[in-house]
Structure 1
């Protein structure tokens, strides 16, 4: 009888350690050192010390979650978005704009293995011209969820505002939610995509079943009212 070797999954104990972050990775995670290897910790900035819990321990690196932040970096700022930390759309709103640009410039230099020019940046808020929002009807609450996916999860974060969107699209969010919630086919909605084009806003609605005539009429009226294409 043939026998096959299967490596046992490495079990990580919920060990609490104190670390000092010295860098940010390209995804905005804090990078510290533990037992000679890189330790990635979301939500901690360079120069900050924190108590963290190991959640993944690999041969070359480890990951941890923050239990308690002990010090604050002068580059820390209050996130502007109320969904930050849960929503998977943004990773660095807790860092100053200068630190974000510095870390991204350093990441690009490492990738290209050469020096890069100074960052040419636009406005820090209201710059995103496209948003793809997931939709999911909840029978228990009889509510339509509309938002981005949670970080590292499939659950939807209900979005009521998004300060990185251009103001025209952010202002549309409540009206889009109200319109879609009134459709009879809301159980068959997949996602809605909003785009701010040069000639005005666009909306693309993905659905898994044909829309009744009444729903199509509601969408046409909504499009005319809000100048959508």
Structure 2
């Protein structure tokens, strides 16, 4: 109920939450998630302080909500600080969704494409295609051909290691790669299209004029 209110009536949810006599990690997490959905990053981070004061430690889901709140509110420094505290202070090892929040925070929200790329390659766990895809989308958004080229090669590297049945690449990945290569007037665009035609039943139509207008 509280989580549902957090999506629709955040002020009402907060009022109900404050009146609750007993709170556990689930209710704290639901409230933090509700604040994140509404872009109330500062309020969500303040909630963490109150949560700690009550003696309740955040779990992995709580921290995902708080990182998401920082991301949607543009609180880059606060989000990075929280990420670095996860393991040392709260005993929570970062999971893929936490890394994803940071990548989105750095790249799409902050425009720090190079830093996001370095963050991914230095991860202690193997990044999945979803992370690379998120960064590739941000490269398209910000028109960063240099980083986009590197990310594209990473995605194509994942593709080459998998069979057609296991492939994690999607049609939009090939379109995004084509967009980046075409914006740099690279011949690689034809190579990308060829790879797509071999792994997808339908080749995505690509119009250079339409792509050029995006940059």
Q: Same fold (TM over 0.5)?
A: no
**TM-score, with length taken from structure 1:** 0.28
Greater strand share, 1 or 2?
1
**TM-score, with length taken from structure 2:** 0.30
